[in-house]
């Protein structure tokens, strides 16, 4: 599920956020990711969108945990992971379009117990 981020009902899209199933180290996981266009950054839009996505995922028993893989150099996204209670598991390298990316692997347990 990938959703368009629209801060104002009649306004333009500011970016996208989503959660999807993927394979990681031989296991099926639910990965999340987000992107906010430069002209909308620094306004709390990604934070509001992530809060809504977490709320929605928590209400769906399909999602036991949410994983995020922001680049180690992406301070805003790593800050969002900390803010929302994700636990940092490790740094990992990924091959993407011929490049090696160094990412943090964060996980948020969604079950409210």
pLDDT by residue (tens digit) across 68-93? 999 999 999 999 999 999 999 999 99
CA distance 88 to 108: 9
81, 45 Cβ separation under 8 angstroms: no
| pLDDT for position 112 | 66
| pLDDT for position 94 | 87
45, 5 Cβ separation under 8 angstroms: yes
pTM (predicted TM-score):
0.91
Mean pLDDT of 18-42: 96
Does residue 113 carry a pLDDT above 70? no
Which residue range forms the structural domain that includes residue 57?
A: 2-109
**pLDDT class of 95 with cuts at 50, 70, 90:** confident
CA distance 102 to 91: 7
CA 37 to the chain's CA centroid? 15
Q: What is the CATH number of the domain that holds 103?
A: 3.40.630.30
CA distance 43 to 65: 27
Helical spans, DSSP H, in the chain = 45-58, 75-83
How many domains, the chain?
Answer: 1
User: For residue 54, which phi and psi values (nearest 5 degrees)?
Assistant: -60, -45
């Amino acid at each position: 599920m990938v959703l368009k981020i629209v801060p104002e009902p009649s306004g333009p899209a500011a970016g996208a956020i989503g959660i999807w199933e993927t394979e990681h180290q031989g296991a099926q996981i639910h990965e999340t990711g987000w992107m906010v266009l430069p002209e909308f950054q620094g306004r709390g839009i990604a934070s509001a969108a992530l809060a809504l996505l977490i709320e929605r995922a928590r209400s769906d028993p399909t999602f036991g945990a949410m994983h995020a893989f922001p680049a180690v150099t992406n301070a805003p996204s790593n800050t969002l992971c900390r803010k929302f209670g994700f636990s940092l598991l490790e740094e990992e390298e990924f091959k993407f379009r011929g490049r090696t990316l160094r990412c943090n692997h964060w996980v948020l347990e969604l079950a409210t117990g």
